[in-house]
Structure 1
């Protein structure tokens, strides 16, 4: 069976220049970076100059037979708004791009208004960083709710990552109740394998909420491929909200420090624990419908040199 594969959680950056918890994130070359006081291998070693380019992503997508990708953002990487907009124009039809909102400081609604005018498809809020600020930022504060109303009125999708567990779930429930027509994609598969992760999954009981699996191979990295625990989590989420509310994501390129891009979805393709329909919906069809991709088709397989 030919599958349409869409990555619902990938990253791009022209220059790694982020900041979290008051500490800078800076590329050291060779895929390494200074992060939270340590040297980390934050990207594959072939990204020698610290640049995570759209050309490299598209090449990886073609090789892994990924037809399209949703470009999300993170405070770790720094604001890449201009670069992701340029990338979308360079590869029309293959990228859905989210602008990064700096909601850690007041006055961000003007920034969101500008991003909507610029033509961003979605707005990203890495909300997991908001709970540990010296003065916590709540998703239900006045400026946040006004921003969500703007997004709802302009059919702009909210891409959001939440803190592990259910700490921000009550806030999200209020957001969903107040803005029932706001389309929301919750990242990192609800931080599966952390305590109370299913409470994040159950937010997708609401009609406009979806869960994407960006980073699930990171969450289960101790198992390594073929990630039986991740498959189990996917099956449990299907039982909770149905497969049509779930989408595959890779968290490219961070997860590519341990595996290849192909491996990030191959463990789903090859498992016997999911039906053909479940694989089809999870790997691409749900994302195609939710993000509004058009004119996509499964990509042709190109044999490797090592194959007969």
Structure 2
């Protein structure tokens, strides 16, 4: 394969054991989790112990010829800073990991500074979880802006998922204006399939902002492989901001309960609607330049027994 492939949005955890909106999330057996009042297939069923670790992901990456990945975080998985710090230390040329704070409560600034001073190169905010019943945590609040300025000074990247549509876009516009050198990756492809998703995509007209497609196969799950709607959305986003502003992401491992890891990108490879240059940029080159990956492995194709 002629593409360097980098996954801009994946997750790892040792155990899910947390509460979101007052509802528990717990790892169970056979890849299942108790998830906010129901049982959900959180992992493929062959991951029987509920552990979503780096070694298993690397095996998937090597098989699918994915050179590197950005490990983000989400409140539904619990804060995984301690484990992720060891992941980047053990596999520095394969992973960049995002630290995460308890942004739903005041006082996160000092924790963010501690994470950054301890070596985290990126901070993740699952901003869609900040629209709390009791109050809304604003992305342009004083504490947030102090953190963003600190990140900008330290060249620490912001990975952020926004609520549907344009709900938080004005706040992000203020952050971008205040911190023009803060590198920002907006996830879930702007929550494509939801109304006003292009308002998030338009944020990438700013030079320091990129869009990554983590979760795009989840959002187009109803149409399923080969995700022609997702290809159309990628083309529409490229028309708005340029293909050089878009990056592939898988949202591993949740998305591979429905498809294989390789399927989460090869619908792009096999599409006739994208040029070879489009594919090269989207699948890896944009991420390599934006995140600063170096010393990437060259992964051989391993023939399947079924071939």
Identify the range of structure 1 (212-221 vs 298-307) with the bigger mean alpha-carbon deviation.
298-307
Q: What residue number does 1:299 align with? A: 299
- 1:179-198 equivalences under 5 Å are 179-198=179-198
Contact 1:2-1:298 within 8 A present in 2 as well: no
Cα drift, residue 186 of structure 1: 0.3
1:77 alignment counterpart = 77
Which residue number corresponds to residue 209 of structure 1? 209
Count of paired positions: 307
1:54 aligned partner: 54
- How big is each residue's C-alpha offset from its partner over 1:198-248, in whole Å with a ceiling of 9 and x where there is no partner? 000000000010000000000000011000000000000000000000000
Aligned to 1:280: 280
2:4 aligned with 1:7, yes or no? no
Equivalent residues of 1:152, 1:181 under 8 A apart: yes
Is the partner of 2:77 in helix, strand or coil? coil
Equivalent residue, structure 1, for 2:138: 138
Structure 1 unaligned blocks of 5 or more: none
CA contact (8 A) 1:5 1:298 kept: no
Of 138-147 and 298-307, the range deviating more from structure 2: 298-307
Between stretches 17-26 and 241-250, larger displacement belongs to 17-26
Structure 2 partner of 1:94: 94
Runs of 4+ in structure 1 off by over 4 angstroms are: none
Residue equivalent to 2:168: 168
CA distance in 2: counterparts of 1:13 and 1:126, whole angstroms: 16
3-state SS of paired residue (2:57): helix
Matching residue of 2:22: 22
Aligned to 1:34: 34
Map Cα deviations across residues 13-47 of structure 1 (whole Å, 9 max, x no partner): 01112321121210121111111211111111122
Per-residue CA shift, 1:173-192, capped at 9, x if unaligned? 00000111000000000000
Instruction: Measure, in 2, the Cα distance between the counterparts of 1:138 and 1:115.
Output: 21
Structure 1 263/8 Cα, relative in aligned 2: closer, same or farther at 3 Å?
same
Match of 1:110 in 2: 110
The aligned residue for residue 64 of structure 2 is 64
| SS of alignment partner, residue 293 of structure 1 | coil
Looking at structure 1, the residues matched to 170 and 67 of structure 2 have their Cα atoms a distance apart, in angstroms, of: 35
In structure 2, the residue matched to 1:148 is 148
Distance 2:167 2:281 in 1: 29
Query: Does 192-201 or 12-21 show the bigger shift?
Result: 12-21
Range with bigger deviation, 194-203 or 129-138: 129-138
Deviations 1:85-129 (A, max 9, x none): 101111121100100121100000011011001101100000001
Matches of 1:272 and 1:3, distance apart in 2? 16
Q: CA RMSD in A?
A: 0.8
Q: Is the 8 A contact 1:10 1:214 kept in 2?
A: yes
Check whether the contact 1:14–1:52 (CA below 8 A) recurs between aligned residues.
yes
Q: Quote the offset at 1:132 in angstroms.
A: 3.0
SS in 2 for 1:49: coil
Q: Distance in 1 between matches of 2:122 and 2:137?
A: 21
> Which secondary structure state, in structure 2, belongs to the residue aligned with residue 13 of structure 1?
coil
Measured against aligned partners, the alpha-carbon deviations of 1:53-84 in whole angstroms (never above 9, x if no partner) come to 10000000000000000000000000110111
Whole-angstrom CA distance in 1 between matches of 2:249 and 2:134? 31
